[in-house]
Structure 1
Amino acid sequence: MEASSGPQSGQLTGWRGHLRYGALGYPLAFVALPLYVILPAHYGDTLGVPLAALGFVLLASRLLDALADPLLGLWADSRLARASGPWAGMAVAAVVLAAGVWAVFFPPVEGTGPRLVWCALTLTLTYWAYSACAIAHQAWGARMGGDAPARARWVAWREGLALAGVLTANGIATTLGPAVMAATLSVSLVVALALLRRAPRPPCQPESAPTPGFTWADWLSPLHNPEFRRLLGIFLLNGIANAVPATLVMFYVQDVLHQAEALPVFLGAYFLTGAISVPLWLRAVKRFGPSRAWVLGMAGYVLCFGPVITLEAGDATAYTLICLASGLMLGADLTLPSTLLAGVVQRQSLATRGAPGASQPSVPQEGIYTGWWQLATKLNLALAAGLALPALQAWGYTPGTQSPEALWHLTLVYGALPCALKLLAGLAWWRWWARAGLE
């Protein structure tokens, strides 16, 4: 197996090729926001399901989803190893995904118990289908290879179009409802898959090659790579720092700023500048390298977001400016960690191939690495909630409270904790990455 060195010869690799690859990021972004934000309110308010029972179902479904990610990564590797590629499997998963979104939002059963069972089954299936598409898509891009700027371009097109999907989904789901959102998702999936079928493809084995098998050693192999473990540790610290404000933003806007009606504007400003910033971070990769550009983004986030702890009720303009400024740092977090991950896998593949007495790897490894990366991404959300919500409850905060002390604790957890975690991530980068001479 050749190490990831670029697309197959004769394929389109200009902006049209990048667009065809990245287009799937747009509809996949439609799934994340509705399932994590809209669905709980839909089942709780519209369908009358008790929140405690619903919370258990959501937690169990997300855990099953996260645990399946490494196995889905192995599946993606097995398809990337073949000339036919993963497209057919992704198309099947996309059909299940679209059907699952319709099913989970519009249960054909009545009563609390049947609706909870329906939600558990359809949501788990939808999560798995989404993860299969997302992991295969990310592994496809990682396997395109190239130097750091080239790897960053594949990631930037995927994540830039995903941000466009987040902006669209935010508007449709909150104003036009889940039916229009599901219809838009279905149509955009068809278009994106049609484009992906004509996208540049990474190197592969001939169809005549034997079908590789997998062992538990394959499943755990990324965790034996010290370079990946270092990157994963930095990613977890930085990811929790991003997930804490995402978990608490509704509480902060409602109870501290008293601007709940302006939440879509704040989120729109944040994601819009995030999308605009992606080309700027691509330039930073060329000038500084991906890891140094990433740590610059961490430092910039602390400077831009830190002043949020000084805001009071009615400071909508100041908060909008903070959203715009910190959104510029979002492009770094969306583009650069995955660029570094692709480099780690590329170096591991070359090292394995060149080791004395070592056999060449029979399959790509981008999928299994991406599977563990996706698991860590979802773990970030769980850890953020596990850190922030119990701390706030212990400090006397409940939604809707106007206790000055409780609101100050909310402000500290929302604004100061992420900045502290970003600084820890920067320190970890220095000790685990920069001092080791990694890039």
Structure 2
Amino acid sequence: MENKNTLERLPAYAVFAGVLASAGLPIYIHAPKFFIDEYGVSLTSIAGILFFLRLFDVIQDPALGWLSGALRRQRRIAVAIAASMMVLGMSGLFAVTPLTTPLVWFGIMLALLFSGFSFLTITFYAQGVEKAVRSSQIGHVRLASWRETGALAGICIAAIAPTVFIWISPSPFTVFTGFFVAGVTLAVVMMAPEWSIEKSENPFAFCSILKDPVVRKLLLIAFVNAAPVAVTSTLFLFFVETVLDAPGFEGPLLLLFFVSAAASAPFWANIAKRVSSKKALLMGMSVSVATFAYASLLGAGDVLSFMVVCIASGLGLGADLTLLPAIFADRVAKHSHSASPAFGLWSFVSKLTLAVAAITVLPLLESSGLEPGIPAPVEAVGMLTLLYAVVPCILKLIAIGLLLLTPLSADQCES
């Protein structure tokens, strides 16, 4: 009966992951452009705020990993508080007129949103490790497939929702906020039975975790491999509008990208069962390299070709999000590392790339002559293509090399 209940609760992981994901990457895509368009905030100012926010987010993640481990016996309460922080942050960003200068308000609300998001993400992934270990019917890849499919579905909905809601309301982001609040409530209720305590956990386990050479290599891979997503997510809207000269297509193209990623997650899980997680991940990363190379050749009017890019890059993202965290979780479980601090470190290195992307790519765009509301010069179009396609291609190749050099045992690869 316990195993049956375990299997029946997998949808709760998908829903919770979906809500979390809707507060992550889509907000990173929408919020900067929303404040630039609505309040006239400059690209460089937004870049500076994003950098310091991400730097703060990066620094706090190990501390949140410690806090998650320390609050194991109060986890349901802690989850409810963190979820409330996300709701307040989202409402402040999109449904409330800034109560101070827009730039300061932007920083405060994003800090609130991302702090709640980070704590919930670390706690959620740590719980996933415990669930996979407890159940003989659920491995790390199977759980990751449910979780990442839900996450990518949440990204799809959040990415396209403002574009859809504009047809029913003059304030689409306010409507989006209302749906987000309802989604958070549902997710918290569905996951409530899952926050069980199976064993004690050392919240001060960072040193022992980092002594594991494979863990260190996997963290480095996570850092490098997340960089292309950080760069392209920051630049996606600008690339479509400026390089492709296709304003108005941003929403459908984003949806196509994320739907492709969501649909591919079960596919990559099945491939991993047949050829190992490592080999399947290398296949997915290779798809991304080819896709970025092709994207570098596109220009004005190439919307149909970019649809192919969205599908293929979504396929590659599905492999990244499904398999790499599963490989890391498997290593953590098999070597008895504390899950909460481990995923605090995982979140730390993953988000560090977002901080670097924020402080580099937007100022480079502005220095090349890109300004909202005026035609982009040739230099800005060239810079966008370089940053959106060429740089991610190079970074992905480096990540592939690092993964090839990382020894993984056969049983770990096949989990």
TM-score past 0.5 threshold: yes
| Aligned residue runs from structure 1 range 355-394, under 5 A | 365-386=338-359, 388-389=361-362
The alpha-carbon distance between structure 1 residues 118 and 23, as it changes in their structure 2 partners (threshold 3 A), is same
Aligned partner of 1:19 among 11, 27, 36:
11
The alpha carbon displacement at 1:409 in A equals 4.3
The alpha-carbon distance between structure 1 residues 155 and 108, as it changes in their structure 2 partners (threshold 3 A), is same
The alpha-carbon distance between structure 1 residues 106 and 255, as it changes in their structure 2 partners (threshold 3 A), is closer
Letter paired with 2:344: G
Aligned match of 1:361: none
Aligned match of 1:411: 385
Letter paired with 2:386: L
The alpha-carbon distance between structure 1 residues 181 and 311, as it changes in their structure 2 partners (threshold 3 A), is same
The alpha carbon displacement at 1:230 in A equals 0.6
Aligned match of 1:31: 23
Question: Does 1:194 pair with 2:173?
Answer: no
| Aligned residue runs from structure 1 range 322-341, under 5 A | 322-341=309-328
The alpha-carbon distance between structure 1 residues 187 and 21, as it changes in their structure 2 partners (threshold 3 A), is same
| Aligned residue runs from structure 1 range 304-319, under 5 A | 304-319=291-306
The alpha carbon displacement at 1:106 in A equals 4.3
2 CA distance for matches of 1:269 and 1:109? 33
Letter paired with 1:245: T
Q: Is the contact made by 2:209 and 2:215 (CA closer than 8 Å) also made in structure 1? A: yes
Aligned match of 2:142: 153
Aligned partner of 2:244 among 252, 257, 262:
257
2 CA distance for matches of 1:49 and 1:407? 21
2 CA distance for matches of 1:381 and 1:108? 26
The alpha carbon displacement at 1:175 in A equals 4.1
2 CA distance for matches of 1:255 and 1:51? 15
Aligned match of 2:402: 428
SS in 1 for 2:5: coil
The alpha carbon displacement at 1:295 in A equals 0.9
Letter paired with 1:186: V
| Aligned residue runs from structure 1 range 288-307, under 5 A | 288-307=275-294
Letter paired with 1:251: F
The alpha-carbon distance between structure 1 residues 237 and 53, as it changes in their structure 2 partners (threshold 3 A), is closer
Aligned match of 2:169: none
Aligned match of 2:226: 239
Q: Is the contact made by 2:261 and 2:314 (CA closer than 8 Å) also made in structure 1? A: yes
The alpha carbon displacement at 1:143 in A equals 2.1
The alpha-carbon distance between structure 1 residues 365 and 304, as it changes in their structure 2 partners (threshold 3 A), is same
Larger Rg: 1
Aligned match of 2:168: none
Query: Cα deviations across residues 223-272 of structure 1 (Å, max 9, x unaligned)?
Result: 33211111111222211123222222223222221112211111111111
Q: Is the contact made by 1:143 and 1:342 (CA closer than 8 Å) also made in structure 2? A: no
2 CA distance for matches of 1:61 and 1:200? 29
Instruction: Note the residue ranges of structure 1 that are not aligned, 5 or more in a row.
Output: 1-7, 206-211, 350-363
* Structure 1 range deviating more: 336-345 or 90-99: 90-99
Q: Is the contact made by 2:29 and 2:233 (CA closer than 8 Å) also made in structure 1? A: no
| Aligned residue runs from structure 1 range 5-404, under 5 A | 9=2, 12-14=5-7, 16-33=8-25, 35-47=27-39, 52-80=44-72, 82=73, 86-107=75-96, 110=99, 112=101, 115-146=102-133, 150-176=139-165, 177-199=172-194, 201=196, 203-205=198-200, 215=204, 218-349=205-336, 365-386=338-359, 388-389=361-362, 396=368, 398-399=370-371, 403-404=377-378
Q: Is the contact made by 2:203 and 2:340 (CA closer than 8 Å) also made in structure 1? A: no
2 CA distance for matches of 1:402 and 1:43? 20
The alpha-carbon distance between structure 1 residues 66 and 50, as it changes in their structure 2 partners (threshold 3 A), is same
Q: Is the contact made by 1:290 and 1:336 (CA closer than 8 Å) also made in structure 2? A: yes
Q: TM-score, normalised by structure 1?
A: 0.82
SS in 1 for 2:131: coil
Letter paired with 1:278: A
Instruction: Note the residue ranges of structure 2 that are not aligned, 5 or more in a row.
Output: 166-171
1 CA distance for matches of 2:394 and 2:138? 30
The alpha carbon displacement at 1:187 in A equals 0.9
The alpha-carbon distance between structure 1 residues 110 and 190, as it changes in their structure 2 partners (threshold 3 A), is closer
The alpha-carbon distance between structure 1 residues 251 and 78, as it changes in their structure 2 partners (threshold 3 A), is same
Query: Cα deviations across residues 18-69 of structure 1 (Å, max 9, x unaligned)?
Result: 1122321122122124532333344343345566555444433332222111
Q: Is the contact made by 1:152 and 1:336 (CA closer than 8 Å) also made in structure 2? A: yes
Letter paired with 1:13: T
Letter paired with 1:367: S
Letter paired with 2:51: L
2 CA distance for matches of 1:51 and 1:190? 34
Q: Is the contact made by 2:220 and 2:349 (CA closer than 8 Å) also made in structure 1? A: no
SS in 2 for 1:278: helix
- RMSD over aligned CA atoms reads 3.0
2 CA distance for matches of 1:438 and 1:168? 33
1 CA distance for matches of 2:26 and 2:245? 24
Q: Is the contact made by 1:231 and 1:433 (CA closer than 8 Å) also made in structure 2? A: no
1 CA distance for matches of 2:342 and 2:38? 39
Query: Cα deviations across residues 327-369 of structure 1 (Å, max 9, x unaligned)?
Result: 11221011011101111211321xxxxxxxxxxxxxx611111
Q: Is the contact made by 1:43 and 1:49 (CA closer than 8 Å) also made in structure 2? A: yes
The alpha-carbon distance between structure 1 residues 277 and 405, as it changes in their structure 2 partners (threshold 3 A), is same
* Structure 1 range deviating more: 96-105 or 188-197: 96-105
1 CA distance for matches of 2:364 and 2:84? 41
